[in-house]
With several copies, the nearest count.
Chain A
Amino acid sequence: MSSRASAVSNQEIPGREVTMVDALRAALREEMRRDKRVILLGEDIGVEGGFGGAFTVTLGLSEEFGHHRVLDTPISEAAIAGVAAGAALAGLRPVADVQYGDFLFLAMDQLANNAAKLRYMSGGKLSVSMVFRAPVGATTRGAQHGQSLEAFFMHVPGLKVACPSNPYDGKGLLKTAIRDDNPVIFFEHKLLYGSKGARKEKGGLQVVGWVPDEEYLIPFGEAKIVRPGRDITLVANLLMVHKSMQAAEILAAEGVDAEVIDVRTLTPFDWETVFQSVRKTTRLLIVEEDNLTGGWGAEVAARVADDCIGYLDGPIRRIAAPDTPVPFAPVMENFYVPSVEKIVGAVRELVKVHN
């Protein structure tokens, strides 16, 4: 594995532009080839003539690895999570999934009470090496198919939480997650999959990203400054990284230089990168698609308000979905999901306040 590869796109290194779906599938394929203990569990993930899971990520893997490694399950989310945890206890490295993150609540007991706690309850003797993948984000499917659930899992001690915003990170983080000896909840944003054909999402970003041909891993707990800036810090994840970047471009034209941080993993969280940025820019806006109250952004605000309050030149603000379920009608959903305009507006206000 190359350490060079952990640098961002570099013309010297052979690689190619791929979608998130391609990148995640490649991560699964590479890890399955490398380690026989890696198996997949989920609904509709390996059926012949089927979808490769709800968003095609596992397409073709049952053909390559066989149905004993790509297990199509009944609709039994609690058992999917619990069976994965049990298999992990006995030495496998299962990667399980739900078709929509919203169904995680069905598996929550197994994830939060068993997978997350078994190592601790055993006094550190066991480990539960599993990954649980979950697509999040609103895509005009209404209240039960569009939630962002990162905060719930960030609040469970014993679980790691990843949330990549681009194919490069997606691949590198998923490979790391699979090799991690702890349970990892791996959030993927539906509008970032770049799925094509029938599974293409309206409003989906055409995110393709460069990924080196050489193998690489991305460690957990390292945020990425995706745009350095001087005037304000924007902290975001998943789709909101892209919206924050778009906002930063607009703001740049107005002379406001925003630093954008992609948190990449919520647990462990790279507090230092955020703190350093805030100490430099003296202003903080957190951007998340999750509901405002109790979102992961609250934790970021709280930590900064503890560690960096003396450096702040104004209030800590959050742009998040309002405290409502996800509405169906696109006009309402567009209002619900934080927009580039809202980010820009909030930044304008923040830089104005104490300038």
Chain B
Amino acid sequence: MSETKERKLFMYHRMLMCRMFEERVYYLFLEGRLPGTIHQSQGQEASAVGVCSALEDKDMITSTHRPHSHAIARGVSVRSLMAELFARETGCCRGKGGSMHVGDMEAGMVPAIAIVGGGIPLAAGCALAFRYLEQPNIVACFFGEGATNIGTFHEAVNMAAIWNLPVVFVCENNKYAASTAVEKVMRVKRVSERAMAYGIPGETLDGNDVEAVYQAMRKAGSRARAGDGPTLLELETYRFAGHSRSDPGRYREPEEVAAWKQRDPIARYEAKLLAERVLEPAEITKIKTSIERELEAAVAQAESDPSPKPEDCLSDVFAS
């Protein structure tokens, strides 16, 4: 298989995994089997997967309150993610983090930061360390368009810009921050225009086109790796689900949701790969079945995995 073909199938597979993971998690919630809350990312898989597929081993990502797809795309083990949502000892955060803090630095993902914009300085800091240690790695820093109104975005992007740090700022513009439409809270048409304030390149692209995302991220990543500094990528996308588990999303017009569902990144990519004959129709069911099985196994495993003990809450505050 050619490298390109392999990558395309990989991206397709990963996007499906993201989608099916989120769907599964959603039902688990409805059934009352998972504690806490969740922020789902159905519809945004192309950005997670396009960006992460362009990363190298030991590159790092930072994420947000909506981290599941980022984690899967980055290759954090699905079992450890599912176990974390089930609050198990075997979870990627040993049950201490939960949905909003999943991550695994071994796999290249800083535990997600649920305070909007809070992960952006961490991303710049990791990038500073990479550069300082002469490690040829970069950081992809995910955040929503809503996060670009908070102080840490401004401060950290500026700092990364003046120091030419190897970080790519990835804004997933899904048009809403919770119930708040982007037009209400910023006057610029495109988030990428904000790059101008820091003297770095900014680019807006179709965030539901995984191939386009991948290419843009390759380019921005190379730039960062070469020491030419950060880029702000704005990926236009949409979340199909509500903001969080409890949100029916009545602040969005049904037509708008429907129109975006027409631009489903997975369906689009599937059609493209079919047309390109990279993918055969028969394979689709096979892939889905195998993902289904993997998720089934992850759920079964998570359910039988040990729970942390109550007193475990006392450990891990300090490194000794």
Touching chains A and B, CB distance < 8 Å: yes
When the two chains form the complex, which single residue of B91, B106, B125 contacts A82, counting CB atoms closer than 8 Å? B125
Contact with B along A79-99 (1 / 0, CB 8 A): 101111111111110100000
Segment 267-320 of B: residues with Cβ below 8 Å from A: 307-320
Q: Quick check: which of A70-78, A308-316, A345-353 contacts chain B, the rest being far away?
A: A70-78
Cβ-defined contact, A76 with B105, below 8 A: no
Complex CA gap A353/B320 in Å reads 36
Most buried by B among A76, A92, A103: A76
B115 surroundings in chain A (CB, below 8 A): 102-103, 106, 109, 113-114, 144
Interface flag for A50 (CB, 8 Å): yes
Residue of B nearest to A76 (CB): B155
Q: State whether the Cβ of B226 lies closer than 8 Å to any Cβ in chain A.
A: no
Q: Which residue of B lies closest to A52 (CB)?
A: B179
Do residues A86 and B96 form an inter-chain contact, with CB atoms below 8 A? Answer: no
Q: Which residues of B contact A76 (CB under 8 A)?
A: 149-151, 155-156, 158-159
A224 interface residue per 8 A CB criterion: no
Knowing A102-B115, A332-B95 touch, does A78 contact B162 (C-beta < 8 A)? no
The count of A-to-B residue pairs whose CB atoms sit within 8 angstroms is 282
Q: Is A49 an interface residue (CB 8 A)?
A: yes
Known: A198-B248, A329-B307. A122 touches B312 (CB 8 A): no
Complex interface: chain B residues within 8 A of A181 (CB)? 319-320
Residue B96 contacts which of A77, A103, A329, A334 (CB distance < 8 angstroms)?
A: A329
**Contacts A75-B147, A122-B105 given; does A198 touch B247 at CB 8 Å:** yes
Roughly how many angstroms separate A92 CA and B124 CA in the complex, as a whole number? Answer: 13
A residues in contact with B46, CB < 8 Å:
none
What bracket does the count of chain A residues touching chain B fall in?
35 or more
Note all chain B residues with C-beta closer than 8 A to A49: 179, 249-252
* CB of A294 closer than 8 Å to a CB of B: no
A2 at the B interface (CB under 8 A): no
Q: Is the CB of A169 closer than 8 A to any CB of chain B?
A: no
Within 187-245 of A, Cβ neighbours of B (below 8 Å) are at 198-199, 202
B259 at the interface (CB under 8 A from A): no
Interface presence of A317 (CB below 8 A): no
B87 touches A81 (CB 8 A): no
Asked if B215 lies at the interface with its beta carbon under 8 angstroms from chain A, I say no
Is B93 a contact partner of A121 (Cβ separation < 8 A)?
yes
Binary contact readout A312-350 vs B (1 if CB under 8 angstroms, 0 otherwise): 000000000011110111111111100000000000000
Say yes or no: B318 contacts A78, CB within 8 Å: no
- Which residues of B are found within 8 Å of A144, using beta-carbon distances? 100-101, 113-115, 118
Q: Which residues of B contact A (CB under 8 A)?
A: 35-37, 60, 62, 84, 87-88, 91-101, 103-106, 110-111, 113-118, 120-130, 132-133, 146-147, 149-152, 155-156, 158-159, 162-163, 177-181, 184-186, 246-252, 307-320
Binding site for B on A (CB under 8 A): 39, 43-44, 47-51, 68, 71-79, 81-92, 94, 102-103, 106, 109-110, 113-114, 118-127, 129, 140-145, 157-158, 160, 181-182, 198-199, 202, 322-325, 327-336
5 examples of A-B residue contacts, CB within 8 angstroms: A82-B125, A83-B121, A91-B133, A119-B317, A331-B308
